[in-house]
Chain A
Amino acid sequence: MRRINILPLIAVLLIKVFIITGVNAEESLLLKAMGEELNRSFKELKELGEAPLYFMAYEVTEVTETRLLASMGALMDDAYNRKRYLDVDLRVGDFQLDNTHQIRGYWADDRQGGKDIAIQDDPSAIKAILWYETDLEFKQVQMAFTKVKANIAVKVEEEDNSPDFSPAPKNIHIEDLNEISWDRKPWIDRLKTYSLLFKEDPNIYYSSIGLTVKQENKFIVNSEGTRIQMGRDFIRLSLYGETKADDGMDLNIYKSFDVACFDELPDEESILSTIDTIIYQLNALRKAPVVEPFTGPAIMKSRAAGVFFHEIFGHRIEGHRLKQVSNGQTFKKKVGELVMPDFINIYDDPNQKYYNGISLNGHYLYDDEGVEAQRVDVVRNGVLINFLMCRTPVEGFNQSGGHGRRQYGNKIVSRQGNLFVESTRTIPYADLKAALIEELKSQQKEYGLVFEDISGGFTMTGRWTPQAFKVKPVIVYKVYADGRPDELVRGVDIVGTPLSSLTRIIAAADDYNVFNGYCGAESGYIPVSGIAPSMLVSQIEVEKSAKSEDKPPILNPPHHD
């Protein structure tokens, strides 16, 4: 039988503090209308419905986006859009047990909408939609709560008795929201010019240069008095080339630069040289041999290591997941234990805007629950000490750490922001490479691998699937023990399981670097970063990657005919 524990809750409520930030900025008409309608609904709906409404939040995400894409010297895509999406979060019951409680035995649908709401600040039109969507959601959560109660009655007692929601301080943070100022026309010309570089090479079947300029403003109000109005700019320049090896394998390289303002984009010279590198690498990959499945020592270069940690470790310390009985809960009971070598520290800090002058994609000041972003130390000296938390408590972890995130249209869960992997012992990269060769010799291996870059990956955390991960490297070199030159190879994916992989890290270099990207999980696609040094692992496993069986094109490209 579940008991509702009131005393500790009151204690927590008493120490609630007000935090008001933001200087001289003005609350928009949108935020004001959201606050007014929320107050009215909260007051009136509390009296209605079988289960009491105890928490309510509105979040509006305003996205203004321009998308440009050029290929072979011509524009391929040119789109502009401005939209606002509404998310309504209601909780009935109480902090201990509410409608969001997991229902064991079947899959609950977590999507909720991201409903269109007026982009013009007309309070009547805004409130009309808030009213209608709140009504739908209110009826939905009442039904959900009834199901939750029945599910608890018919299932065995849960292992984790932590509450469903934790109190959080009221935050008021109002920023002025300015549109990104930039000149579209010269950029179109630039993209077209850059894209011409690929045209020279008959082996590049498709290529593109893209620019996405996105402003994302968030407006959050909740029944605890939190009012957030904040904006972020996301600019992505992407370079892409695609070819095919004679055996049919599709080869592509995608390089992107995610920055917060135009000044941070690489200059023309380095863009052009990156394109040259892509062309060179694609041609080299076409001729590169395919690697056979292999286990042995390897180096993950810094950006690749960032992706590696994000996938195999980061997703397993996202707090809400440790509560779900369907989840693998790899690290739930490992707090206080050594989970990786003692020279590694890991923390996630969304407050950091830059690392070494590079914009961090995972930066934010407040999460989607209106909680202030916090640095969370997760691993100290190899020992697991904490999880990334949203306002959903997990046994022993009752407070949000400001990691409740979502893409509009999804329920909030805990996610990574900027994941920093640090080593207390570092050596220059050249020494790390030497250490790899030593390791090869001691393991009597002919060769090891160096993963220069990783395009992405995925990890499975459900209990019905193996707790495995797969990451897809793009540029991989064989390094020979006998001193033969390094050899570019293709056609492998890294596979493994988290617990054993993490313990096999032997050494780290001092060459920290940043990977910026977008991570997809239960709560949608969100911007994230990973910061890590290159790492040497004593054993890694690679398997053959899936490959197309189609032959390369029969005729030459028309302008090379």
Chain B
Amino acid sequence: MKKIIVMTLIMVILITGVISALHAADDIVLQAMRDEIGRSVNELSLEGYDPPYFISYRIQDLKQFELKASFGAILESRQDRSRQLSIEIRVGDYSFDNTNFIGSNAWRFSRRSNHMMPLENDYDAIRHKLWYHTDQEYKSALEALAQKKANLQNRIIKDSTPNFTKEEPFQFIQTDIPLESDTIYWKERIRELSGLFREFPEIHTSQANFRLQDVTKYFVNSEGTMVKQKAPLISLEVFINSRNKEGLEFNDQKTFYARSFSFFPDQTALIGEVREWALEFSRLLDADTLDYYVGPVILEGQAAAEFFYQLLGKNLSLPLSPLTEEDWQEHYIPRNYLDNKKDRNILPPDISVKDDPYLLEYDGKEVVGSYEVDDEGFPARVVNVVEEGSLKEFLSHRYPSKHSEGSNGHGRAAMGYSICGRISNLTVETEESLPVDELKNELIDRCVAQNLEYGIIIKKLENERFAQPSDENEIGLTAPLYAYKIYADDRREELIQNVKISNLTILILRDIVGISREKNVYNLISRGFSGDIPVSLVTPSILIEDMEIIPGGGKLEKPPLLEHPYFINE
């Protein structure tokens, strides 16, 4: 048994929201941002052209410690710091400006330039960088506006929705408590964890990636909004890979995300959880597959969360409707399967869905999508997105459209991306729920009624971020990784491998016929139009009336020719 150096640990520094009196003036970074915005709004103007009517600066300060380990040894130990700046400049006015247009510079619709900033709180150095990049962004904005105007000269546009909402200034300053960590302690923990795979000859490669990100976000805009907030993230992603005797390749990941050390599992729990997962993975390699199934399916735990995330969560972002110069540019606009479904029933009438950025934990488990102010400096709001099955409100940023008057505090983006509405902590609620066991009873009853020998329980869907998008169904739901047959006669469960869900549309959400009382917290890094951001889902297990499941296919390749050197003598 490996010893862990616990004594040297400087652990558990909770990052809590501390709203101090407005000491913004004390903060050099905010001060430099505010002063340069002030000067730019007053003085920055190209002869014959309007000055900017809106400027915002976003700076993200990151102190990062990254560790990678495999098979009991460290692969990489990296420490770095960065501060990045992203600028938004609007010329024209709130009703018509340089944004919401895809022209020849189409990439700019979804991406923002990232600029390297001084790591230190040096007022002059920070302002110098702000000045230089503001000048460049202003000129690009002028050109974009001219392009947009030119493009509209000969077109009939019925939509007179303004381009931007006017907002009151908002200020929020959080005290800067660093996320302290003991690198030696973590090295030993992650190294030990990665060595766990020495118990599993069936697993060919494995890697544990651990990352501590101490993030401070600064935001200032020309309307007087000023924000400084912490967004720490601790993440552990374990990857395993193997190929079974038939030559089929299997990949899986187990992920842990937390905002504070106190919620990160201790070493015993962590090793226990990873070991249990690796055991299930090993069993999967030799499991049977199935030819074809159509019938009731239970999505349990992670599978239900991933289902809600991919089908519902990703489509709750406020749809974007920019003008495009050419038709082909429309592929830059993210597809939203719920676009025309506002005030329509997208779920059964007993289900409601809420997105709550203020939620910190559920049932003693931490959620990671939390924030107090969004990335546009807009205060977070709890949004009832679905009420009694009906889609009521999209998650929005400061983007007026037919669906939304303005922001509901969900404008989120990774650095380098344009902001859009994204989920934070999405919770699925219902008035009529059953204990999990009764959900299974319901599944069996339905199987019996349909003369099916067995039903299907899916316990894990491939994590959308690591999986190949599915071509089997229009909405691209990822394939089940751990699916079980549950036999109607004796309720025995039998693991099956390599299957996928076929012929799925967004309407499957309406086919939920049973919901468990127990809820699961699922933390993940969500990939989307505005980049990778942490989100959480609090979801019950669900019973779906009918799903079609078919064999997964896949290329068969020879397994390794030689024995793994570590397992030779076993």
Verify if A522 is at the interface (C-beta below 8 Å from B).
no
Report whether B128 and A559 are in contact in the complex, using a CB–CB cutoff of 8 Å: yes
**Interface residues of A, dominant DSSP:** mixed
Residue of B nearest to A242 (CB): B132
Contact A553 B132 (CB under 8 A): yes
**Set of chain A residues within 8 Å of B70, measured between Cβ atoms:** 116, 118, 125, 128-129
Tell me if A48 counts as interface (CB < 8 A to partner B): yes
A254 within 8 A of B: no
Verify if A365 is at the interface (C-beta below 8 Å from B): no
* Bound complex: CA A333 to CA B130 (Å): 57
Among B116-124, B357-365, B423-431, B490-498, the one that faces the other chain is B116-124
Cα–Cα distance between A300 and B136 once the two chains are bound (Å) = 36
In the complex, are the beta carbons of B124 and A554 less than 8 A apart?
A: no
Q: What residues on B are CB-neighbors of A41 within 8 Å?
A: 562
Judge whether B76 and A131 touch: CB under 8 Å: no
Assess whether B78 is interfacial by the CB under 8 Å rule: yes
Q: Which chain A residues numbered 35 to 89 have a C-beta less than 8 Å away from chain B?
A: 37, 40-41, 44-45, 48-49, 71-84
Q: Using a CB-CB cutoff of 8 Å, which residues 111-167 of chain A contact chain B?
A: 116-120, 122, 124-132, 134-135, 138-139
Q: Do A48 and B561 touch (CB < 8 A)?
A: yes
**In contact, A82 and B136 (Cβ under 8 angstroms):** no
B81 lies within 8 A of A78 (CB)? yes
Is B288 interfacial (CB-CB < 8 Å)?
no
Residues of the A chain whose Cβ atoms lie less than 8 Å from the Cβ of B68: 116
Contact A83 B79 (CB under 8 A): no
Q: Is the CB of B561 within 8 A of A128?
A: no
**CA–CA, A528 to B7, complex, Å?**
49
A73 with B73, Cβ < 8 A, contacts A131-B560, A551-B139, A555-B43 known: no
Cβ–Cβ contact A139 & B558, under 8 A: yes
- Indicate whether A77 sits within 8 Å of B82 (C-beta atoms), given known contacts A72-B125, A129-B70: yes
A206 at the interface (CB under 8 A from B): yes
Contact B566–A553 (Cβ < 8 Å): no
Q: Using Cβ atoms and an 8 Å threshold, which residues of chain B touch A205?
A: 132
Chain B residues within an 8 Å CB radius of A139: 557-558, 561
The answer to whether B74 and A559 have CB atoms under 8 Å apart is no
Q: Tell me whether B562 and A119 are in contact (CB under 8 A).
A: no
Closest to A558 in B: B127
B119-A554 in contact (CB<8A): no
Given the known interface contacts A80-B79, A83-B76, the answer about A74 and B125 at a Cβ–Cβ threshold of 8 Å is yes
B441 interfacial contact with A, CB 8 Å: no
Judged by a CB distance under 8 angstroms, whether A199 is at the interface is yes
A124 engages B198 (CB within 8 Å): yes
By beta carbon, the residue of chain B nearest A128 is B71
* Residue B503 CB within 8 A of the other chain: no
Interface majority SS on B: helix, strand, loop or mixed?
mixed
Task: Enumerate A79-119 residues with CB–CB distance to B below 8 Å.
Answer: 79-84, 116-119
Contact of A71 among B79, B118, B198, B205 (CB under 8 A): B118
| B288 → chain A closest CB, angstroms | 27
CB pair B80 A79 closer than 8 Å: yes
* Bound Cα distance from A180 to B401, whole angstroms: 59
- Do the beta carbons of B135 and A128 come within 8 Å of each other? no
B39 and A75 contact, CB distance less than 8 A = no
| A118 cross-chain contacts in B, Cβ below 8 A | 70-71, 73-75
Q: Roughly how many angstroms separate A77 CA and B118 CA in the complex, as a whole number?
A: 8
A561 CB-CB contact with B under 8 Å = yes
**Nearest-CB distance from A175 to chain B (Å)?**
23
A119 touches B77 (CB 8 A): yes
Q: Which residue of B lies closest to A47 (CB)?
A: B561
Say yes or no for A557: interface residue by CB 8 A criterion: yes
Asked if B355 is at the interface of the complex by the 8 Å CB criterion, the answer is no
Find chain B residues with CB under 8 A from A119 CB.
73-77
Q: Are B205 and A554 in contact (CB under 8 A)?
A: no
**Bitwise interface map of B from 557 to 569 toward A, beta carbon under 8 Å scored 1, else 0:** 1101110111000
Closest to B68 in A: A116
- For residue A49, which residues in chain B have a CB less than 8 angstroms away from its CB? 561
Interface flag for A550 (CB, 8 Å): yes
Q: Given B78, B118, B130, which contacts A81 in the complex, CB threshold below 8 Å?
A: B78
A247 → chain B closest CB, angstroms: 16
**Contact: B75 with A73, CB < 8 Å?**
no
Given contacts A41-B562, A128-B71, contact A71 B36 (CB under 8 A): no
- Check A75–B118 contact: CB distance below 8 A: yes
Q: What residue of chain A has the Cβ atom nearest to residue B191's Cβ?
A: A120
Beyond A73-B124, A118-B70, A557-B128, whether A128 also contacts B75 by CB under 8 A is no
Cβ contact of B71, chosen from A44, A78, A124, A135, cutoff 8 A: A124
* Pick from B72, B139, B204: contact of A550, CB under 8 Å: B139
Residues of chain A with a CB closer than 8 A to B293's CB: none
Contact flags (1/0) for B396-438 with A, using CB distance below 8 Å?
Answer: 0000000000000000000000000000000000000000000
Tell whether, in the assembled complex, residue B118 and residue A138 are in contact, meaning their CB atoms are under 8 Å apart: no
**A132 and B128 form a contact (CB under 8 A):** no
Q: Closest approach, in angstroms, between the C-beta of A537 and any C-beta of chain B?
A: 39
Contact between chains at B79 and A561 (CB < 8 Å): no
Asked whether any CB of chain A lies closer than 8 Å to the CB of B131, the reply is: yes
Q: For residue B558, which residue of chain A has the nearest CB?
A: A139
User: Could you tell me if A127 and B565 are in contact, using CB atoms closer than 8 angstroms?
Assistant: yes
A45, A124, A206, A558 — most chain B CB neighbours (10 Å):
A558
Partner of A77, one of B116, B125, B564: B116
**In the complex, which residues of chain A have a beta carbon less than 8 angstroms from the beta carbon of B184?**
none
Residue numbers in A under 8 Å from B130 (CB-CB): 558
Contact indicator A561/B565 (Cβ below 8 Å): no
User: Using Cβ atoms and an 8 Å threshold, which residues of chain A touch B36?
Assistant: 558
CB distance from B69 to the nearest CB of A (A): 8
A558 to B118, CA, bound (A): 15
Whether A75 and B44, one on each chain, are in contact in the complex, defined by CB atoms closer than 8 angstroms, is no
A124 touches B566 (CB 8 A): yes
Q: Assuming A45-B562, A79-B79, is B124 touching A122 (CB within 8 A)? A: no
The residues in B between 67 and 107 inclusive whose CB is less than 8 angstroms from any CB of A are 68, 70-82
A71 touches B125 (CB 8 A): yes
CB B234 to nearest CB in A, in angstroms, measures: 20
In the assembled complex, how far is the CB of residue B340 from the closest CB belonging to chain A, in whole angstroms? 43
**Contact flag A129-B79 (CB < 8 Å), given A73-B124, A76-B118, A559-B124:** no
Within 8 A of A (CB), among B537-570: 557-558, 560-562, 564-566
B448 at the A/B interface (Cβ < 8 Å)?
Answer: no
Residues in B whose Cβ lies below 8 Å from that of A199: 124, 128
Contact digits for B25-55, partner A, Cβ 8 Å, 1 yes 0 no: 0000000000110011001111000000000
Q: For the complex, what is the distance from the CA of A83 to the CA of B130, rounded to whole Å?
A: 34
Q: Contacts of B131 on A, CB cut-off 8 Å?
A: 553, 555, 557-558
- Contacts A120-B73, A124-B566; A553 near B78 (Cβ below 8 A): no
| CB–CB A554/B135 < 8 A | yes
Given contacts A78-B81, A83-B76, A120-B73, contact A554 B46 (CB under 8 A): yes
Q: Are A82 and B76 in contact (CB under 8 A)?
A: yes
CB proximity of B48 to chain A, nearest CB, Å: 12
**Interface pairs A-B: 10 shortest CB-CB:** A125-B73, A118-B73, A74-B118, A74-B122, A79-B80, A74-B125, A122-B73, A72-B125, A558-B127, A553-B135
13 more A-B residue pairs beyond the given contacts A44-B562, A118-B75, A124-B565, with a C-beta to C-beta distance below 8 A? A71-B125, A72-B125, A74-B120, A76-B119, A77-B116, A78-B119, A116-B75, A119-B73, A124-B73, A131-B565, A139-B558, A199-B124, A557-B132
CB-defined A-B contacts under 8 Å, sample of 13:
A41-B562, A48-B561, A75-B120, A79-B80, A117-B75, A118-B75, A124-B72, A130-B565, A132-B560, A135-B561, A199-B124, A550-B136, A557-B131
The chain B residues found within 8 Å of chain A, CB to CB, are 35-36, 39-40, 43-46, 68, 70-82, 116-120, 122, 124-128, 130-132, 135-136, 138-139, 191, 198, 204-205, 557-558, 560-562, 564-566
Q: Tell me the A residues contacting B by CB distance below 8 Å.
A: 37, 40-41, 44-45, 48-49, 71-84, 116-120, 122, 124-132, 134-135, 138-139, 199, 205-206, 550-551, 553-555, 557-559, 561
